[in-house]
């Protein structure tokens, strides 16, 4: 009775697996069942499956050979069988792809694709037009195999600099130290980019109840009533203090000098009651640029008003990030609302 149950179990397993097995695997499975059954296993398996005893014994021999001979081919196909790689059938595919991806180093500056549109779909379409039919997924696989990956741009190319640029920095630094040693005010000034006033989306995140983000406008269109604001900052290098005036009209030299004048009236004159001169460090362009004649005229008016000379040191072109206000105050501009004064800028 026990043997009949075992045969029945072999029959059930065979019915489940038989559609999934090829001829060789079927006989090797039957051989494994016969070996696990023990004495009389070949007869029991043949009775349950209907297979010939010679077939089962051949499977037993194959299993025994597999244990002793590692060279037995485990694949159903012979070596070299199956579909050929696309790069084997199309030997010029890799070279064509490299010309599209990196045209300057491959001697093809007139490539139809530029770096801004080198997606896998565009590359696939262009290769297909050139006689190399290939899918976008295959293009991605080939690029990854060749060491490519998706990367953004990085600002690392500074370009050529003037021979006297370092000397200009040294001169600015020496002037600042000289003023500070004499306890005279030294400020760094600059204009922040215009900002929309209203409920608009800003970068970054803040803690809110889950699923209840703060609602803002869908489109960044300026509000006709609120308009835009222009923050103009004044940073005191010696005292590590700042002042921001917010204009609602235009960023002009008059507005920039007016912001400096407000700083001096509200803060600077109290910090430096015995000041005899003022030093300003600024960028080379914009409303306080070195070539802006209105900036110079407005500064002279301010100097006459406060009764002391005003010295200005401009940074070389392309070096605005060295201006102290950039990384000492503007990065925290949203954290100092107490010193923000809104007023209308002069056109």
Residues 37 and 173 in one domain: no
Residues 267, 344, 296, 189, Cα dihedral to 10°: 50
Helices (H), the chain: 2-17, 23-37, 41-49, 53-68, 86-89, 93-101, 120-129, 136-145, 165-181, 253-263, 269-271, 293-306, 324-328
Which CATH number belongs to the domain containing residue 312 in this structure? 3.30.420.10
Mean residue pLDDT of the chain comes to 78
Q: What is the 3-state secondary structure (H, E, C) of 29-88?
A: HHHHHHHHHCCCHHHHHHHHHCCCHHHHHHHHHHHHHHHHCCCCCCCCCCCCCCCCCHHH
The verdict on residue 153 lying in a domain is: no
Inform me whether the pLDDT recorded for 94 exceeds 90: no
Residues 107 and 223 in one domain: no
Residues 195 and 250 in one domain: yes
Residues 102 and 194 in one domain: no
Quick one: pLDDT band at residue 183, thresholds 50, 70, 90?
very high
Q: What percent of the chain has pLDDT over 90?
A: 20
Residues 194 and 245 in one domain: yes
More confident residue, 5 or 173: 173
The verdict on residue 80 lying in a domain is: no
Residues 222 and 313 in one domain: yes
Inform me whether the pLDDT recorded for 182 exceeds 90: yes
Angle among Cα 281, 284, 285 to the nearest 5 degrees reads 125
Owner of token pair 């005279």: 184
For the chain, give the longest Cα–Cα distance: 120
Bridge partners of 186, per DSSP, are 279
Inform me whether the pLDDT recorded for 97 exceeds 50: yes
The verdict on residue 160 lying in a domain is: no
The verdict on residue 75 lying in a domain is: no
Inform me whether the pLDDT recorded for 125 exceeds 50: yes
Quick one: pLDDT band at residue 123, thresholds 50, 70, 90?
confident
Q: What is the pLDDT of residues 58-81, one digit of tens each?
A: 888 888 887 655 544 555 556 666
Structural domain span for residue 54 = 2-68
For 234-238, what is the mean pLDDT? 92
Inform me whether the pLDDT recorded for 188 exceeds 50: yes
Whole-number Å distance between alpha carbons of 233 and 246: 9
Residues 196 and 270 in one domain: yes
**Closest C-alpha among 229, 238, 235 to residue 190:** 235
For 82-97, what is the mean pLDDT? 80
The verdict on residue 10 lying in a domain is: yes
Query: Which pLDDT value is given to residue 344?
Result: 36
Residues 41 and 190 in one domain: no
Cβ neighbourhood burial of 302 (10 Å; 0-12, 13-18, 19+): middle
Residues 253 and 139 in one domain: no
Tell me which of 27-36, 81-90, 126-135, 289-298 is least confident.
81-90
The verdict on residue 76 lying in a domain is: no
Residues 64 and 91 in one domain: no
For 104-110, what is the mean pLDDT? 46
Number of domains in the chain: 3
Strongest mean pLDDT among 13-22, 101-110, 245-254, 302-311: 302-311
Composition of the chain by helix, strand, coil, percent to 5: 50, 10, 40
Q: What is the pLDDT of residues 269-307, one digit of tens each?
A: 999 999 999 999 998 888 888 888 999 999 999 999 999
Residues 122 and 6 in one domain: no
The verdict on residue 155 lying in a domain is: no
Quick one: pLDDT band at residue 145, thresholds 50, 70, 90?
confident
Q: What is the DSSP letter of 246?
A: E
Quick one: pLDDT band at residue 160, thresholds 50, 70, 90?
low
144: Cα within 13 Å, side-chain hemisphere: 7
The verdict on residue 268 lying in a domain is: yes
Residues 313 and 267 in one domain: yes
Whole-number Å distance between alpha carbons of 289 and 315: 10
Quick one: pLDDT band at residue 326, thresholds 50, 70, 90?
confident
């Amino acid at each position: 009775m026990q043997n009949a149950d075992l045969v029945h179990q072999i029959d059930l397993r065979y019915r489940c697996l038989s559609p999934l097995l090829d001829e060789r695997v079927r006989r090797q499975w039957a051989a494994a069942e016969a070996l696990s059954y023990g004495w009389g296993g070949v007869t029991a398996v043949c009775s349950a499956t209907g297979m010939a005893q010679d077939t089962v014994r051949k499977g037993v021999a194959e299993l025994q050979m597999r244990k002793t001979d590692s060279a037995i081919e485990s694949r159903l196909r012979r070596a070299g069988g199956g579909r050929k790689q696309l790069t084997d059938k199309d030997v010029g595919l890799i070279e064509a792809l490299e010309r599209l991806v990196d045209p300057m180093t491959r001697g093809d500056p007139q490539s139809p694709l530029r770096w801004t549109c080198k997606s896998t779909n565009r590359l696939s379409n262009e290769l297909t037009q050139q006689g190399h039919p290939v899918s976008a997924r295959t293009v991605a696989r080939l690029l990854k195999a060749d060491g490519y990956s998706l990367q953004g741009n990085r600002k690392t190319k500074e370009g050529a600099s003037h021979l006297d640029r370092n000397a200009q920095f040294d001169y600015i630094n020496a002037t600042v130290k000289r003023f500070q040693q004499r306890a005279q005010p030294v400020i760094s000034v600059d204009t922040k980019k215009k900002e929309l006033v209203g409920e608009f989306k800003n970068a970054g995140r803040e803690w809110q109840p889950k699923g209840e983000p703060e609602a803002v406008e869908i489109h960044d269109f300026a509000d006709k009533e609120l308009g835009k604001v222009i923050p103009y900052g004044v940073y005191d290098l010696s005292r590590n203090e700042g002042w921001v005036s917010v204009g609602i009209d235009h960023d002009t030299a008059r507005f920039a000098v007016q912001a400096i004048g407000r700083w001096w009236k509200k803060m600077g004159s109290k910090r430096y009651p015995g000041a005899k001169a003022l030093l300003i460090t600024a960028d080379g362009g914009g409303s306080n640029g070195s070539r802006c004649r209105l900036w110079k005229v407005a500064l002279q008016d301010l100097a006459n008003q406060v009764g002391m000379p005003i010295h200005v040191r401009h940074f070389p072109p392309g070096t605005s990030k060295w201006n102290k206000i950039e990384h000492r105050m503007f990065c925290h501009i949203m954290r100092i609302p107490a010193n923000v004064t809104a007023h209308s800028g002069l056109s």
